[in-house]
Amino acid sequence: MTTNQGVRPGGRSARVQASVHKAVTELLDERERGELTVPMIAARAGVTPSTIYRRWGDLNELLGDVALQRIRPDGEPADTGSLKGDLLAWGIQYMEETASVPGRAVVLDLLAAGGDCSGRCLEIARAQFGILLERAVARGEPVPDKDLIVDRLVAPLVYRILFSNQQLEEGYVEVLVDGVLEGVAS
């Protein structure tokens, strides 16, 4: 899926994309995900179904693309003055967003869309950690590898949100962040 690369802002292609994304977002508010069809989305967006098939391939890819836009962070992660604080703030916000009903649906849409789409989800998180780690280095703090943050913070949060019914608490994020920092010292 390469729908976001090389789209000139304001161009016809970008306007079609924005209109189709808006149609999907509106329809997801009104109906069950399983009820959505490409002709329904095309009618709402004012484009032909073949425009959607040509650009996105199929419904799953389109829903994955919209989900990817939704998880793109609004800005830089919060700067709390320490790596521990930054990871904690990031983790708590990530947990709250992902555990919400629309958040869980977004994750499932990314997975249904397949490899490329869900892989970009990991890249977005890694880019955010890049910012946190640069700050920590500037402060003179010892820093973990990005992969350790993925393995010890992101993965357990996503796994437990997807595979358990338990309500996750902020204290759990704290345990995970301690695990990340423990890995730096060793």
Footprint on this chain of a copy of itself (rule: CB under 8 A)? 108, 110-112, 115-116, 118-119, 121-122, 150-152, 154-156, 158-160, 162-165, 176, 179, 182-183, 186
Q: Closer to a copy of itself at the Cβ: 47 or 70?
A: 70
Q: What is the distance between the terminal CA atoms of the chain, rounded to a whole angstrom? A: 40
Least separation, in Å, of the C-beta of 41 and a copy of itself? 18
Least separation, in Å, of the C-beta of 69 and a copy of itself? 17
Q: Closer to a copy of itself at the Cβ: 9 or 186?
A: 186
Residue 151: DSSP 8-state: I
Least separation, in Å, of the C-beta of 166 and a copy of itself? 9
Least separation, in Å, of the C-beta of 158 and a copy of itself? 6
Q: How many CA atoms lie less than 13 Å away from 41 in the CB half-sphere?
A: 30
Q: Under 8 Å CB-to-CB from 74, ≥6 apart: which residues?
A: none
Long-range contact set of residues 165-170: C-beta below 8 Å, sequence gap at least 24: 168/95, 168/99, 170/92, 170/95
Residue 137: DSSP 8-state: H
Least separation, in Å, of the C-beta of 121 and a copy of itself? 6
Q: Closer to a copy of itself at the Cβ: 16 or 108?
A: 108
29 alpha-carbon distance from chain centroid: 19
Q: Closer to a copy of itself at the Cβ: 42 or 157?
A: 157
Q: Closer to a copy of itself at the Cβ: 78 or 124?
A: 124
User: 115 near 184, Cβ under 8 Å?
Assistant: no
